[in-house]
Structure 1
Amino acid sequence: MRRRKFVQLASLLPTGVLLNNSNVQAKSVDADNEINPVVISTWAPNVKANAAAWQVLVKGGTALDAVHQGVMVPEADPNDQSVGYGGLPDRDGRVTLDACIMDHQYNIGSVMYLEHIKHAITVARLVMEKTPHVQLVGEGALRLALENGMKKENLLTEASEKAWKEWLKTSQYSPMTTVENLLERIKNNHDTIGMLALDKHGNLSGACTTSGMAYKMQGRVGDSPIIGAGLFVDNEVGAATATGVGEEVVRICGSHTVVEYMRHGYSPADACKEAVKRLIKARGEATARKLQIGFIAMNKKGETGCYSLTGSFTMALRNVAGEKVIDAPSLL
């Protein structure tokens, strides 16, 4: 294999060092002007998901295939109680999943309130590639999965069922107790996975998948399956995804907002910061202090960044320089 000369570009925010800095420029260009791949995802534990996506990218695969394969890792992990199999149920004990996927050509697919299928992201891609629609919900999404050879299974694990029954003892059947305790829960775990990738052809794609807010009201849908809220990709500009209390991300069309700031010249980190500032303005600081919201973003150059509302948020990054976990700065 002939040797290639790589030029690595890196930049730090003036207020931090690399591991505490959300603005990591991960662009690399080889001698043939190919872009070296980059993948980022929400939360430190998702380095495992990044590793799966990275294997697709380094073999020359597309960003779309990379994010698809990457987020399937936590979807199949019973110990991840915020995504897929083992996800915490709604207040009636039903595990319902939301997911969406978007490629570099504005192709999109989404599923909401999907039961009995572990890999919601695969069903979202089926919506994108095998139907004339962009969103399917509930029974319709399940039927599409079954018609394409996917199997029904029980997604409620023993551990998640136990946690739900403990919640019932003191919750008075109110999902508001989940909102009030979300920050405490995230300190010991994480919430949802959003993933963005840039492939060697310079194309971006993204995926987002979740079991949603624990103990939510039946039928609740957050930001994760909504294009423009939980995820948005514009191949001319960049991509963004979100995590946290989905109702608040939807309120400001969060991921689309981040991408639009990048369109106007903001770095990925600063674009995420501006979206957080917009949320604080919309909700007021007192309310915002009770919430957890995090954004991650990547532009066409492979530069990445993140920002959060109230802390306790990390971004996992994998590029030619290796793997790192970045603590996102916060405004509150």
Structure 2
Amino acid sequence: MGWAIIGTWRMALEGIEKSAKLLSNGGSSGDAIETAIKMVEDFPYYKSVGYGGLPNENGEVELDAAYMDGDSLSIGAVAAIKDFKNPISIARKLSEERFNSFLVGYGAEEYAHKNGFERMNMLTERAIIHYKNRLKETVNKGLSPYDGHDTVGMVALDLANSMASGTSTSGLFMKKRGRVGDSPLSGSGFYVDSKIGGATATGLGEDIMKGCISYEVVRLMKDGYAPQEAADKAVFELTNLLISRRQKAGDISVVCINNKGEFGAATNIKEFSFVVATEKLPPTVYTCTVENNKTIYQVATEEWMHNYMKTRTAPLKLKLK
């Protein structure tokens, strides 16, 4: 049956490369998820996750994260937590609790402190520049402040046929203090069952929550749909439902794998990327396009890969006007 791991966005690549080695050597799906997501959280140039994540409207970095064990269905999550490194690790620790496994704000911070997790100011100078520039753009050009909500979500299958899933995000850029999206919510931002498969989502949390899309993908796989079929069906049914009821739908993307290591990805946006590795496939980045309610993906070109990192690591200057 083999092992597999999949993650949202190109930013998952380095973490998946490391966790692919772990899984190939018999490591657990839980360790693979935590290891890979921590690498994304620790890289300051990924401005929607962890250290370097973009702040809320008050200039504070509030982080959300979740972890799920596909064998026991145990879930741990934190939301609106500030000044602690690696919220995915805190979420995983919480999944061991029978009660009080989802903590928010000060309660999450108190738990993290009591359990020895590292305190860290997660607001970087680069994020401050992004914040100040966006304030100017919002006032001067009338642009929406809510750009930048790329959650890293992952699902893994190990050689023991156990599965796990995890998410981590700083949420909407310039969100209201205390705002929580889909990422730490079971069934919306993530869901995994080792007997079936797992899925994780990224996009506009307020719309993803309206369809509990990660659970829906897993349910469809349980009903016999292949991962790609399940992903497309869930994404486009929810997109069309939202358009029919509300006249618009936000960004919605999902990735998934079943308990055989087969994978799928779907999106309703023009440019979405994901990373996958299996026993037969080295860590690979794919870019997606949409045609007639179906997601088409291809291996990212070298030019695309170069431009991705060039854009994210380019020097920033504070705009004077």
Q: Residues of 2 paired with 1:52 and 1:213: CA distance?
A: 28
RMSD: 1.9
Correspondences of 1:1-332 after superposition (within 5 Å): 35-104=1-70, 105-130=72-97, 132-172=99-139, 177-179=144-146, 182=147, 191-284=150-243, 287-288=248-249, 291-321=250-280, 322-330=282-290, 331=293
Report SS of the residue matched to 1:272. helix
Overall identity of the aligned pairs, in %: 35
| Preserved contact between residue 204 and residue 252 of structure 2 (Cα < 8 Å) | yes
Distance 1:329 1:218, change over 3 A: same
Bigger drift between 49-58 and 294-303 goes to: 49-58
Deviation readout 1:89-141 (Å, 9 max, x if unpaired): 00110000000000121011000000001200011112112462220001111
Write the distance in 1 (CA, Å) between the matches of 2:111 and 2:189.
23
* Secondary structure class of the residue paired with 1:68: helix
Contact 2:11/2:40 (<8 A) preserved = no
Conserved 8 A contact 2:189-2:214: yes
Letter in 1 for 2:234: A
Q: For 1:165-215, what per-residue CA distance to the aligned partner results, in whole angstroms no more than 9, with x for missing partners?
A: 111123259x98134xx3xx6xxxx81110110000111110011011111
Residue 95 to residue 271, structure 1, CA distance change in 2 (3 Å): same
Distance in structure 2 (CA, Å) of the matches to 1:77 and 1:69:
13
Asked if 2 retains the 8 angstrom alpha-carbon contact of 1:242 and 1:293, the reply is yes
Structure 1 unaligned segments of length 5 or more: list them: 1-34
Q: Distance in 2 between matches of 1:110 and 1:56?
A: 24
Asked whether the equivalents of residues 258 and 275 of structure 1 are also in contact (C-alpha less than 8 Å), the reply is: yes
Partners of 1:307 and 1:329 within 8 A in 2: no
Q: Which runs of 4+ in 1 moved over 4 A?
A: none
In the TM superposition, residue 295 of structure 1 has moved relative to its aligned partner by 0.4
Report the CA distance shift for 1:295/1:176 in structure 2 as closer, same or farther (over 3 A). farther
Q: Which runs of no fewer than 5 residues in structure 2 stay unpaired?
A: 295-321
Quote the offset at 1:158 in angstroms. 0.5
Q: How far, CA to CA, are the matches of 1:68 and 1:38 in structure 2?
A: 15
1:52-88 per-position Cα deviation (integer Å, ceiling 9, x unaligned): 2213212211101110111000101111101000000
Deviates more, 1:114-123 or 1:42-51: 42-51
CA-CA distance at 1:329 after TM superposition: 4.1
Residue 67 of structure 2: SS of its match in structure 1? strand
Cα distance between partner residues in 2 of 1:45 and 1:109: 23
Task: Give the C-alpha shift of residue 281 in structure 1.
Answer: 2.6
TM-score (ref. length: structure 2): 0.85
Alpha-carbon contact 2:2-2:260 (below 8 Å) kept: no
User: Secondary structure in 2 aligned to 1:251?
Assistant: coil
